[in-house]
Structure 1
Amino acid sequence: MPLICLETLVPATVEDCFDLSLSVDAHTASMHDSGERIVGGVRSGMMGPGETVSWRAVHFGIPWRMTSRITRYRRPDLFVDEQVAGPFGIWRHAHLFVPDGAGTRMTDVVHFRSPAGLVGDVVDRVFLVRYMTGLLEQRNRWLVAELTGAAGR
């Protein structure tokens, strides 16, 4: 099963990073290029323990729908979202926040698996790890810009 581990240093407090990362409004704004929009569950603001959100997005020219739930919540240092319905066989995304100097070390740990057995495994290794890492990097750049006031500059 593929594993993505991405660390991002953010010049903001752990609490601010945690809160913005749980905001469905921030997620929608950061994923604007893929046309992500909310189609069910929490529709605005921050998600909380046990809450779900359903997204619709277009990736590779194909519309996708995914519902995830906050399965672990320990403010301000950890939350986990997991797919409960959608395109992946498995999707688990842990978000960790640790003070680091004058800011926060934000770590994304993603375990996922495509459906379709061996074919899905090949697609994961050859293509999806790089694609999903790029999406996470895009989102984290947006979060850093938003948290540092650089958004819109």
Structure 2
Amino acid sequence: MRIARLDYKQHLSVSLEEAWRFFSDPRNLPKITPAWLSFSITSEVPERIYPGLIITYRIKPLLGIPMTWVTEITHLIEPRYFVDEQRFGPYSFWHHQHIFKEKEDGVEVRDIVHYALPLGPLGRLVRELTVERKLHEIFSFRRRALADIFNSKSAANS
């Protein structure tokens, strides 16, 4: 199994506490997920994540075919870091680190994702042909959505 790695950084002009409040509330996930993924949370979720939290989703990642995705929050150090790992879903391995680093003029948000697809060589081909591009689209959308959300809040507070 080949494990692929993605690493995205974004600067937000908000406090570490405000960034943490937003990202640690699972109900905000649909706001930063593109519509084409048809993403919906199907389990009850609290206002704040905690280690051991299981979240179930419905997604349509490829060809509009719906599937269930189940993740668990496995690690959490508030307000600096949390990890979600797939328990069931489209990947044979999914480990997503969310890291928040306070900066002089805001916060650096970093996502490090390690993932692998099932089906050996066929899975690698699917990753190269579609999955890699789709994940980049998702994180590009997320970057724009976060900029809009937090720039709007900054403008409203001016």
What is the TM-score normalised by the length of structure 2?
Answer: 0.86
Specify which structure has the higher proportion of strand.
1
What percent of counterpart residues are identical? 23
Distance between the aligned counterparts of 2:47 and 2:34, measured in 1? 17
1:119 corresponds to 2:122:
yes
SS of the aligned residue for 1:135 comes to: helix
2:109 counterpart residue number: 106
- SS of the residue aligned with 2:143? helix
Deviation at 1:71, TM superposition (A): 0.5
Q: 2:70–2:88: 8 Å Cα contact kept in structure 1?
A: yes
Superposition map of 1:3-82 within 5 A: 3-31=5-33, 33=35, 34-40=37-43, 42-59=44-61, 60-82=63-85
The one-letter amino acid of 1:133's match is H
What is the alpha-carbon distance in structure 2 between the residues aligned to residue 61 and residue 150 of structure 1? 34
For structure 2, list consecutive stretches of 5 or more residues without a partner in the other structure.
none
Q: Distance in 1 between matches of 2:24 and 2:67?
A: 21
| Structure 1 length-normalised TM | 0.89
Match of 1:62, SS?
coil
Q: 2:16 is matched by which residue type in structure 1? A: V
Letter aligned with residue 92 of structure 2: G
Conserved 8 A contact 1:4-1:129: no
CA drift at 1:56: 0.2
- Choose the corresponding residue for 2:150, options 125, 147, 150: 147
Amino acid across the alignment from 2:81? L
Q: Equivalent residues in 2 for 1:86-101 (5 A)?
A: 86-101=89-104
Q: Classify 1:133/1:89 alpha carbon distance in 2 versus 1 (closer, same or farther; 3 Å).
A: same
**What residue number does 1:133 align with?**
136
**What count of residue pairs does the alignment treat as equivalent?**
151
Higher-Rg member (1/2): 2
Please give the alpha-carbon distance, in whole angstroms, between the structure 1 residues aligned to 2:147 and 2:20: 12
